[in-house]
């Protein structure tokens, strides 16, 4: 039986995460303190420590939640069919952002905290790439970071430009 969280716990954790995201928009990640988060979240430090042992555990939870949310959506996408109309893919992915617009609005305006952003982008690439490759038949070398000739790259760009991603697999 899955244990459901108390609404107060959800509300407090959301306040902590939103406060953290707001602070990321104006401060470097290394300059954010538990006191900063607690003050902005309108909780005391003890309450913060009831949920998290430190700031890095907030970061880990955010990264895990984002990764899990995108993995779940990516797992539901039928890339072979939906590459014909990529809008539906983007619509599904942006639905994640719409679930907590306040958090993501602050999160995506982070002030120079590119390390965390890069980590999340890389997590999403790790999840999307295998799903797309397994469903579309694009081979690993097409989707890899290996060096390709300028002619190959030009051909792929022209196909994508005129036929969309679906042109690469048909």
In sequence order, what DSSP letters do the residues of 79-115 get, joined into one string? HHHHTTSTHHHHHHHHHHHHHTHHHHHHHTT-SS-HH
**Does residue 163 sit within a domain?**
no
CATH of the domain at 115: 1.10.357.10
Q: What's the predicted TM-score (pTM) here?
A: 0.64
Domain that holds residue 83: 7-137
Is position 106 within any domain? yes
Report how many domains make up the chain: 1
- pLDDT (tens, 9 = 90+) of the chain, 170 residues, equals 445 678 899 999 999 999 998 998 888 888 999 999 999 999 999 999 999 999 999 988 888 888 788 878 877 877 777 766 777 777 887 888 888 887 777 777 765 555 666 766 776 677 667 766 665 555 555 555 556 666 766 666 666 555 655 554 55
In a domain? residue 165 = no
């Amino acid at each position: 039986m899955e244990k459901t969280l108390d609404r107060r716990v959800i509300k407090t954790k959301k306040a902590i995460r939103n406060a953290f995201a707001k602070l990321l928009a104006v401060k470097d990640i290394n300059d954010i303190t538990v006191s900063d988060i607690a003050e902005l979240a309108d909780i005391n430090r003890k309450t913060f420590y009831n949920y998290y042992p430190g700031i890095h555990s907030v970061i880990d939870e955010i990264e895990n939640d984002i990764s899990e949310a995108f993995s779940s959506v990516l797992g539901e996408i039928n890339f072979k069919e939906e590459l014909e109309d990529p809008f539906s893919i983007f619509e599904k992915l942006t639905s994640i952002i719409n679930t907590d617009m306040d958090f993501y609005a602050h999160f995506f305006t982070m002030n120079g905290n590119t390390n965390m952003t890069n980590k999340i982008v890389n997590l999403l690439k790790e999840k999307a790439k295998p799903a797309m490759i397994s469903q579309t038949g694009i081979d690993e070398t097409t989707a890899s970071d290996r060096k390709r000739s300028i002619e190959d790259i030009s051909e792929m760009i022209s196909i994508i430009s005129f036929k969309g991603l679906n042109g690469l697999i048909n």
